[in-house]
Structure formats: structure tokens, C-alpha cells
Amino acid sequence: MLDNTELIKLSAREAVRLLKAGDVTPMEMVDAAAERIKFVDNYVNAIPTLCIDEAREQSNKLKVPEKTGPGWLAGLPIVVKDLNEIKGVLTTYGSKIFSDNIPLKDEISVSQLRRSGAIFIGKSNTPEFGAGANTFNEVFGKTLNPWDLSLTCGGSSGGSAVALATGMAWLATGSDLGGSLRTPASFCSIVGMRPSPGRVPHGPGRNPFQLLSVDGPMGRSVGDVALMLDAEVGKHPNDPISLETPLTSFQDAVDNPQVPYRIGFTRDLGIGPVDSEVADICASAAARFAEVGTIVEESKPDCNDILEIFQALRAALFVGVRGPLLEKHRKFLKPEMIWNIEKGMSQSIGDLSKAWVAQGALYQRLMEWFEDYDLLVLPTAITPPFDVNRRYLDQLDNHVFDNYIDWVYVSYIATLTSSPAISIPCGFTSNGLPVGIQLVGKPRAEAELLSYAAKFEEILNMGQHTPIDPFL
């Protein structure tokens, strides 16, 4: 029998195999997670809301269905981002406005995971309404990077990333609009995947037809992320853009990894600064694709207007989804939220029409680029983790960013083209800070992307470097 220390070091896939075989029980897994949380979370503040008692109750009631498909999690404890609603569990969205909000039912993404045999042990910290790439809020405070407690873990899925990096969970939910899932994956040396819109059903929300923000899986390996994606997918009647479950599982894709014929690597998409050490680490990692016969070239699609497109469409989304809060609760909103909503309100129909047309042109340019390349490869984040007391990265070298989110511009290409993207650990800076590399695939080609990512993970062969103790 494995002890708790051994259990928390298991991959999610290994843990599920043991659960399915009856070699470990869901209750034992919950107890292992609870012990680890008690030991670690005071240092990092990643899971401010716990539901351990509910998890134990859920463990006792869990029944294995007759057909345990590839997505069946068999009682694996997971962490849920505090933007996702769990029935009967405090869900604040990182806002004082909802500091005592207890949902009456699961949201769609949570219900999918519950039906897949997941057990929920807590809610991970997030910035207010997920806005911003540094995880802090006025309800629970700051979440700290376990690799250096003075630094940010990124955001907005920062709590989930830290929970994984420190072994408090085997899987965690994330969401991604402008790198909210990918940036913390890079900063914490775990794997995070932004799927195509509709691949993971979510909501219901005020704008169910929007294509910018998606839910996605986070884990410590590409295989673990594939497992979670298998558990999340499926058509749902309350999500009008949700897609059918693929005929072949995503785990099959990672178990039979393929080699891309040609990839294009770019340090910066040609539109902004990147820390030179980060760029060099990612360039060296991308070059290793050549070891398996892949042609590696410096190449990128034309992204000259990506900043303007993203800011216009994001601001419009904020007006629709969060706009009503500005009039009723302005004093509780952080300045960045107010700026984003007001930016959206100041736009004309002409401004939005121009952005939509430009987005369409960007998509076509990317599709033409993908005629010659299988993957777009670039840094996940333009910098290593920075001081947690900085609200956002306002400057890099001599470049001053115009607003609180333009520094995550390397994430915009996937968002604006509905392309899946995954962040994989690829190295460490000279002072030991994690660096992630981002692989962007063709729209709706998650299986292909995961297959290439698994091969890349194999090539890099970084070994198991998480979970870590944040105080060492």
C-alpha cells in the first residue's frame, strides 16, 4: 500500500489506474490530498475554499458505472477554479460582490467532471472575475509561486497551477481568455491546455455564443491533461457551441505520439518584447524537434494587428458579461476591471465591425500559414515570474505596455483564431525559475496537438520535477 507522500507524487493517470484496479480507494486519495493541503497551502494560498468533508461524502457515494470510458476518473480528487460553480460550495469569482455566494447547482463544466467520477476537494484562487495575469483579489489575497514565494504564479488560473505544482491535487480546472490558463502553467512548470471553443462545454453564462473564453484542463504532464480533457468533453444542450465527444480518446493520441513534419518557431510574433533568456530557452527547446526528423524553421503568420483586435473584442465581451456590475457595484471592482468595461462601452459599432473583419483576416492568414506548417511554437510567457506585489507587468526592458494585459500578447493568436494551444515546461532560467513553451495547433485539432505535445515532452525528457515543497 502506498502512503500519502507516495500518492501525491503519482501522475493523474497512474492514480486513476490504481483507483480502477481497487488498489487505492477514493477516500484514501481524498485523505492524501487533505494532508498535503494542510501541510503546504499556508505557504502559497492556492486553495482558499476547501470542501474536504463534502469530498469524503462524495467518495462514499461514488458508484462505478457499467461502462468506464476513457474519461472515467474513478474518484480522483481535483481542484476547481473559483470561477466555476460547484453546488453548495462557496464560489466568489474572486470578488467581494460575491463573497458569500453559494451556488444551487453545478455549472456545466463541473457537472461533466462529476459525471466522469471526479471528486471536488476545493476551489482554487483567481483574480477578480479572472481578469489579470497575477492571481490576487480582495477576498482571499495573493497566491504565491511555489518556486519562489516572492513571485507571482501568473493568472488567472494561478491557484490551480500552484495546487498542481505543490502536489495538492492531481488535476485542476482552468479557464483561458488571454493566456489565463497557459501563463500560470509556464510560471509554475506544469502543463495547461486551451482547447478550441466548444470542446469543453461550459456555462450557462450571459453570452453562451462567445468564442474567446474557454475552460480547459491543467495537469503535471501532457498525458494527465489528455485524461482530463477526455473527462470534460461532450455535447451539452445548454451550451450551444459544444462539440460531440470525439470517436477516439485524447489519451490514445498521447499514447501513440506522432512527429510533426514541419514547425514554425517565433520568439515574439514580431509584435513585442520577450525576455532574452526566456526566448533563448524556448528556441533551444524548439530546435530539439529536429532530433526526431522534424523540420524546424523560424516562421510566423502575420500578426501585425493582433493587439488592437484582441483589446476591442475582449472589451466588448466585458461589457456584455460584467457591464451590469459597473453601475451597481463600482466601488468593489478593481481599477483594471473598470478600465476594461469602460473601454468596451466607449467603442462604436464601427470599431467592433472593424475588429471582427480583422479577426477574420487573421484567421485566414493563419490557415494559409498552416498549409506549410503543423505547429506554431513560441514562448508561453514573455518573462519569468515577476514580483507578486506588481499588479501586472507594466514594462519589459525599455518597452512600456499600454494596459494591464498587453504583456500576455503571445497568447492572443490562439484565442483570436479558435486554435488549441498547450504550454509545456521546457527549462529553467539561470536563477531557477520555470519557463514554458507554447504549441499552437490547427482549430479543433486537439488530438493532433496532444500527440505532438507528447512527443515533444518525450524529447525534452525533463523528468519529474513536481510536486515541490514551496518552503525548500
Residue pair 179/436 in contact by the 8 Å Cβ criterion: no
Q: Is the dihedral of CA 307, 310, 311, 313 positive or negative?
A: positive
Separation of alpha carbons 148 and 429, rounded Å: 13
What residue ranges in 98-143 does DSSP mark as E strands? 119-124, 136-137, 141-142
218 vs 312: CA distance, rounded Å: 28
Exposed / middle / buried, residue 66 (Cβ in 10 Å: 0-12, 13-18, 19+): exposed
Q: Are 421 and 412 spatial neighbours (Cβ–Cβ below 8 Å)?
A: no
Question: Can you tell me the distance from the alpha carbon of 345 to that of 340, in angstroms, rounded to the nearest whole number?
Answer: 9
Q: Which three cell numbers stand for residue 145?
A: 509561486
Cα–Cα dist 380/231, whole Å = 25
Confirm if 269 and 410 have CB atoms less than 8 A apart.
yes
Q: Would you state the cell numbers that stand for residue 164, as one nine-digit string? A: 498542481
180 belongs to the catalytic site: yes
Continuous segment of H or E residues that includes residue 456:
helix 446-460
Please name which of 309, 301, 282, 288 lies closest in space to residue 382, comparing C-alpha atoms.
282
**Which of 95, 180, 196, 242 is an active site residue?**
180
Q: Which residues pair with 422 in a beta bridge?
A: 193, 439
- DSSP β-ladder status, 214-219 and 395-396: unpaired
Alpha-helical segments (H) within 288-383: 306-329, 335-346, 349-370
Report the C-alpha dihedral over residues 20, 26, 32, 34, rounded to 10 degrees.
Answer: 150
Task: For residue 70, say if its preceding peptide bond is cis, omega within 30 degrees of 0.
Answer: no
Active-site residue, from 81, 123, 300, 334: 81
Tell me if 251 sits within 8 A of 226, measured CB to CB. Answer: yes
8 A C-beta contact, residue 434 and residue 454: no
Annotated catalytic residue: which of 59, 95, 116, 156? 156
Strand partners, 423: 192, 438
As a whole number of angstroms, the distance between CA 379 and CA 382 comes to 6
For residues 21, 27, 33, 34, the Cα torsion angle rounded to the nearest 10 degrees is: -170
What residues are labeled active site? 81, 156, 180
